[in-house]
Every structure is written in C-alpha cells, then in structure tokens.
Homo-oligomer: A and B are copies of this chain.
Amino acid sequence: MGEERPNLRWGVEQKLQFIEFRLFWEGHVNRSDLIEKFGVSPNQASGDLNRYIALAENNMIYDKSGKTYVRSSCFKPLFLKPDSTQYLAQIRSVAEGVVSPDDAWIGNLPVFDATPAPARGIDPIILRSIVIAIRRVEAIEVLYQSMSAQDPEWRWIAPHALAFDGFRWHARSCCEKSGQYRDFVISRIMDTRQTRAPQKQAMFDIAWEEVIELAVGPHPELSAPQKRAIELDYGMQNGRVSIPVRRALLYYALKRLGLDTEPSARKPQDQQIILLSDPNLSQGASSIGGGIR
C-alpha cells in the first residue's frame, strides 16, 4: 500500500483533497469533476486521478459499468478528515451566497433551508476600518445611530474585539464619551472618519474578560424520553451541560438560548431547557442589560 505522502505542491494537494472529499461524501468522482472544478484538461485530470490511486491504493476503484471512480469498501481518508460541521457550513455558505455553487466542493447539494437571519449587509470598507482599528489598538470616529440619539452622531470608540450574537455583528469597544465598554452594532455604523491613539487604554474590559459558566439542563416538567432527547441535542451529561459565556455576551446568549424570559412564558415542550441556578446571573444580567448603545 503506497501510503507515504510525499511533499506535494499546493495545487496538487488541493486536487487530491477534492477527490477524497467527493469520494467520502458522494461516493464517486469523475474526471469531469476535476475538469470543472479546477479548469484542467481531461488529460491532466486523468493524471491526477491516477496519482491519487498511486498514493492511496485501496481507496478508489474505477467502475467501468458506472463510468466513474467509486469509493472502495476499505476507504480510509488520507488527505482529509471528514467533518460534518465543515460539510454543513459549506451548504450554508452556498445558501447565503457567500460561496458560489461552482466553488463549493459539494457536487450534489441537498435541498436546504434555514430560519432567516435578517443580517443587514455591512459595507466592507466600514468593516475594514473597524478591523484595522482593532489591530492597531486605535480609537476611530464613527457615525453611529444609537438607541438614544435622534440622528446618527459622530463619536469616538476604541474597539478591541468583534462579537457575534447569533444575528448581528458587534464591535466591542470603549466608548470615549462615557469611558465605558459597550457593544456597537456594526450595521448601525453609517460611516467612519479619522483614527488616533485611544484616550485611556490601561482600563480593562472586565465584562469581556470574565467568563461565566452557564449550567443548563432539560426542563424539569418534561417527560423522561423528552429529557433524553434534549440531553442528546445539547450533549448533556447527567442532565446538565456547562456553557462558557463571556459576561459581555451573556445578555445575547440568554436571548439566543431562550432563557431571557420567565419560565412560564413558554410551555415546557417549547422552553426545552432551563438554567440550573447561576449565582452570577442576576448581577450579570442587570449590569449587561444596558450594554448595547
């Protein structure tokens, strides 16, 4: 079995990975797949397929009747670790238009849909200026539509991290007007202007650094099989799972998990999970509630 992996060029490695990806997920590869995906000649595609066979002898055989290379029963991936998350992320990327079906490695996309995340498009120039300010540890002047001011206002912020709350992207920043760390919703930034050194960079963003462990369990009023199903969903052990959350993101995490309302607001089957006592919670939730500007 030729299972050595010689030093291959990047392009060759990519093609071999592609062959293996298709073999695992679809069960077969064609010469024409390589031709379409990498724009090579039929000639070269033949060569690459045979190169793969030379390197991973028992993984693939040519099915003359099916006119295609098929995964053999003793297939063992050599260039790729099969990963569901990766496969599913690719489906989502295609559905969101981030990746064109031509660039995706999945050949035969299953029918797919997702609950809509009405994420407004972010101007790449604005996002870039924020990212650069984070990298350079600078303050940047942004035209921001806050929840309190009537119209968008120019204000100085010193961003230090990006955060995603499940819907929107935030720039975790020190607001130089109040001197406090807040979340600025990136889609509410209408424009950016100049940058300069931050006013007081010694201060720590404590709510960002502090990590709270959220103990979650199935709703106690569920039946035993219902509890078991929920435990499976969340990967719970002994009826509980511990979810680490930055305190700065606690408000959003609770909202996303559906734990931001009274337990009575939903039926147990809809609520599904509950918090298993969290000492920091009441303190954290109240001090975070006004964190968004």
Contacts and interface: CB of A to CB of B under 8 A. Distances in A.
A109 to B, nearest CB: 9
Specify which of A112, A124, A260, A289 lies most central, judged by the most chain B CB atoms within 10 Å of its CB.
Answer: A124
A253 interface: yes
A161 B84 CA distance: 16
B131 A110 contact: yes
Name the interface size band of chain A.
Answer: 35 or more
A110 B122 contact: no
A134 interface: yes
Given A128-B24, A188-B232, A164 B10 contact: no
A164 B164 CA distance: 18
A114 B169 CA distance: 9
Contact of A188 (B124, B135, B147, B233): B233
A124 to B, nearest CB: 4
Specify which of A115, A117, A124, A125 lies most central, judged by the most chain B CB atoms within 10 Å of its CB.
Answer: A115
A187 B269 CA distance: 18
A66 to B, nearest CB: 14
A98 B110 contact: no
Contact of A84 (B115, B121, B289): B121
A166 B258 CA distance: 12
A225 B150 contact: yes
Contacts of A127: 84, 87-88
Interface string A236-252: 00000101111001001
Given A25-B128, A84-B127, A116 B244 contact: yes
B245 A148 contact: no
A34 to B, nearest CB: 10
A202 to B, nearest CB: 18
Specify which of A84, A120, A127, A148 lies most central, judged by the most chain B CB atoms within 10 Å of its CB.
Answer: A84
A206 to B, nearest CB: 15
Interface string A73-107: 00000000011111111011100111100000000
A1 interface: no
Interface of A: 9-11, 14, 24-25, 27, 38-40, 82-89, 91-93, 96-99, 108, 110-125, 127-128, 131-132, 134-135, 145-151, 160-169, 185, 187-188, 216, 223-226, 228-229, 232-235, 241, 243-246, 249, 252-253, 255-256, 258, 260-262, 265-266, 269-270, 289
25 contacts: A27-B132, A84-B121, A85-B122, A86-B99, A88-B122, A88-B164, A88-B169, A89-B96, A92-B164, A110-B135, A110-B161, A112-B163, A113-B161, A113-B164, A115-B166, A115-B256, A116-B244, A118-B234, A118-B241, A120-B234, A145-B228, A148-B226, A260-B270, A261-B266, A269-B289
